[in-house]
Structures are given as C-alpha cells and as structure tokens.
Amino acid sequence: MKNITVIGCGYVGLVTGTCFADLGNNVCCVDIDPERVSNLNRGQLPIFEPGLAELVQRNVDARRLRFTTSYPEALAGAEFAFIAVGTPSGVDGEADLQYVRQAAIDVARNMRAPLIIVNKSTVPVGTGDWVAGILREHQPQPIDYWVVSCPEFLREGSAIADFMSPHRTVLGSLNSEAADRVAQLHLSLRAPIVVTDLRTAEMIKYASNAFLATKISFINEISNICEALGADVKEVAIGMGYDKRIGASFLDAGIGYGGSCFPKDVQALAHMASEKGRHPQLLNSVMEINADARRKVGAKLRELLGGQLKGKTIGLLGVAFKPNTDDIRDAPALDIAAELLAAGAAVRAYDPVAMPNARRAAPALHYAENPYELAEGCDALVLVTEWNEFKQLDFARMLKAMRNNILVDGRNVYAAGVMKAHGFNYRGVGRGYDGSGKTEEQT
C-alpha cells in the first residue's frame, strides 16, 4: 500500500484517485472547490461516469479514499502527488496552465518530505521541466522531489475500464528511480509500460489524441466524397477496417468529435508547432473538417425543408458529446443548436444524462422529458448522440407525434431501409444518396 495524493477532483483526478484506492492504496484527493469536496464527502459526484459512484463509495467506506481542501492534510505522509487539474484552451489555442502552476506552488509550500510529483494532466511539451522549476522556486526549504510525466488515456464513458485495463502506461522522467517507483504503482494492471524522458512522454499523449482525431476527420472527409459519388461510407469503413494496418476503431463517419480532449489537444499541438515555426497543415485540416461535419447538419435540414429553417421546429436526440457521459464541452449539439437558432428555427433537445449541464449552457433550447415528448410537433429530428436508448425507439409513435417526417441521423445508427419502412424521410452521413441521385432503394 502506497500513500498517494491526487490534486484535482475533476474527471481525471477523481477516476485516478478512486482507481488507485481500489488497488489497495491510501489516497487523499484535494481540491480548491469547497462545494465540490463537501459534495464528494456526501457521496455526490461532480461528473457522470458509469460505475464511478459505486467505486467511490466502496473505497470511502473502506477508508482508502478521502477528500479535502487542505494541502497540508492531503500531503501528510504522501509518497506521490498526482497533478490532475484542468488545462483548458487559452485565447490562441494554447493550453492554459494556471491551475497546474498553482498546484505546483501549493505542493512546494506544503510538502514536508521527499515526494514524487506526477503530471497526470495533459500539458504542453516542456511542462515537466517548468513544474520542476516552480517547485524549486517556491519551496520554503530544500526538500528532494522528482517530476514524472504519466499522461492519462481515459475515455469518458469507459474510464474505469481504461484505468484498470490500459493499452499501455507511459512514464517520462529525468530520474530513472522515480520513473521506476511510479511504474511499480501500475504493475498490477499488467499492461506494457513505456519509460522515456519527460518531453517525449508529454508528446506521446498529444500525438495519440491527434492521430485518433485525424482518423475521425479522415472518415468524415471520405463520407463527403461518398455522398457525391453514391458510395456508402459505412461499408467503406468496414472494408478498410479489416486491414490491421488501419483498424476499424474511430472510422465512424458522423458529425465529428467533441469533448474535453480531442478539440483542445489538437488545437494545443497545432499551437505548439506554430510557435516553433512549423506549419501544422494536417492538424489544421483535421480541425477544419471537424467543424464542417457539424455544419453539414444544417445544410441537410435546409435541403430537406425546402431551403428554409425559419419557423421550423427541430428536435435534437442527444446533447452530450458522446454516450455514457454528461460532458457537453465542445459538444456538436451546441454548435448545431446555435446555427439552427440563428436561422430562426425553434430547437428542442433531450438527453438521458446531460440535461442539467445543457440547460446551463444553452438556455434558449426547449428541453423535453423523453424522446416522445421531444418529437411532438417537430418538422425534423436529428440524432446527435448515439445513446443506446435511441436505438430501439417506438418509431411509429415518434412519427405520429411529428409534424413532418424528416430524420437526420448524425451518427449513422439507423438502417436507411428500416427508417423508410417506418415512413421517415431519412438521411445519414455519407450513405450514398445525399445529393448523389442514388435512391434509398439502392442503398
């Protein structure tokens, strides 16, 4: 059993701390938000993540996990301090490191024994060296410390499984002994451990997310061409995916990526490249294609509604950027809704989990209690988030409630023939009949 401090009780910090506690360690999570800490001590989580609430409660009950606002309390007896605070995008796309800086200062001022500081937050290349300098500058008296980079690779909606069964653990440090001690924390996960230097470890995180975002934008570019040429992008992706050099993951055409990682990380990597005089043309194209994927929803609706959105009522099935999360950060639904509202449409929305966050972010939308209430009087529905709940709807009931029969499937969840049989005027993404002249019977 090791004594671990986790700084930040947001998504990464809470999952990391809870999972380390479940592995048998003594974990104290510290956060500067008193309300968040108070809620956590009452069992109320700030995020929705399947299985996390139960895991938190189990480890709190076992006295392996606790929450505090006090750095002296959190660092008392600690051997490791994981920095897991937010790094939002700055004005020019750079990662905002103000919370990382403050966490490093607070650690420096309150540590009383040698400590390994682990950067878990996604931070620009070079941050590990920078954090080491902050620690040295703000220590009241010299105490040994070592900085290790251990980037997170957690997917929202499956974060616990990703922590407990990772594809790999990446560690970077200038001190091999410190890296080895952090590696020991991860040995029970039985996954490959990559040990490298600080800057390379930081780069691995950005390069990984940028590559996955690139796959999404690539298949969306192909879907655009499929629509023009009469091919079906779903079948194209299946045929591509059998090639092990390509793989099927992240080849789902749709309305693009969102969330707290891909948009921010691709933009930050492009910013880092530009600052060093490089031209990140691929990364810029990835971001441009992703933005276009969202705008295509409005274009499809205009085409299907006779070129006019003003006075029309559009229902959005889903608001969260992906299923199994309540996260609406950079969610495609918000951009789509904003475009429709600007065009004079009335916009309704329903999401199984993300409605409280959506109401705060987009108060101009009307929020329904269920999909069937959402459909009432709608001229068109748009499938935005592929929640399982939306895959087995009573489509006859949905259609009966609507004013018109238009369904735009932004995630290619439904079969075109089945939807047509239900009576919908259906459009997917890259399915070979949007603007190509190919009939739905031929799909």
CATH number at residue 375: 3.40.50.720
Give the model's pLDDT for residue 10: 95
Q: Residue 312: what pLDDT?
A: 98
Containing structural domain, residue 181? 3-196
- Over residues 221-245, the pLDDT tens digits come to 999 999 999 999 999 999 999 999 9
Q: How far is 387 from 21, CA to CA, in rounded Å?
A: 30
Measured between alpha carbons, how far is 41 from 63 in angstroms, rounded to an integer?
A: 12
Residue 175 included in any domain: yes
DSSP 369-432: SSHHHHHTT-SEEEE-S--GGGTT--HHHHHHH-SS-EEEETT--S-HHHHHHHT-EEE-SSSS
Residues 84 and 184 in one domain: yes
pLDDT at 90: 87
- pLDDT, average across residues 298-302: 97
| pLDDT per residue as tens digits for the range 19-74 | 999 999 999 999 999 999 999 999 999 999 999 999 999 999 999 999 999 999 99
- Greatest distance between any 2 Cα atoms in the chain: 76
Arithmetic mean of pLDDT over the chain: 95
Give one word for 192, left, alpha or beta, with left for phi > 0 and alpha for psi -120 to 50.
Answer: beta
Instruction: Verify that 15 and 164 share a domain, yes or no.
Output: yes
Looking at the structure, do residues 175 and 253 belong to the same domain, yes or no? Answer: no
Q: Which residues are catalytic?
A: 261
Residue 111 lies in a domain: yes
Both 382 and 278 in one domain: the answer is yes
Within a domain: residue 205? Answer: no
Q: Residue 224 forms beta bridges with which residues?
A: none
**Tens digit of each residue's pLDDT (9 = 90 or more) over 345-379:** 999 999 999 999 999 999 999 999 999 999 999 99
Residue 275 and residue 245 share a domain? yes
Answer yes or no: do 252 and 329 share one domain: yes
Per-residue confidence (pLDDT) for residue 433, from 0 to 100: 57
pLDDT at 438 over 70: no
Q: What are phi and psi of 282, to 5 degrees?
A: -65, -45
436 within some domain: yes
User: In terms of domains, do 283 and 143 share one?
Assistant: no
pLDDT at 92: 85
**Whether the predicted model's global pTM rises above the 0.75 cut:** yes
Whether residues 185 and 214 share a domain: the answer is no
pLDDT in tens, 155-185: 999 999 999 999 999 999 999 999 999 999 9
What's the average model confidence in pLDDT over 4-17? 97
**Angle, in degrees to the nearest 10, between helices 11-22 and 52-61:** 50
Q: So what's the pLDDT on residue 423?
A: 97
Q: Indicate whether 280 pLDDT > 70.
A: yes
Q: Within this chain, do residues 68 and 145 fall inside the same structural domain, yes or no? A: yes
Q: What percent of the chain has pLDDT over 90?
A: 96
Query: Where does the pLDDT of residue 86 fall: very low under 50, low under 70, confident under 90, or very high at 90 and above?
Result: very high
Is residue 161 in a domain? yes
77 part of a folded domain: yes
Residue 59 lies in a domain: yes
Give which of 130, 6, 148 is closest to 74, Cα–Cα: 6
Q: Are residues 248 and 358 in the same domain?
A: yes
3-class secondary-structure state, position 271: helix
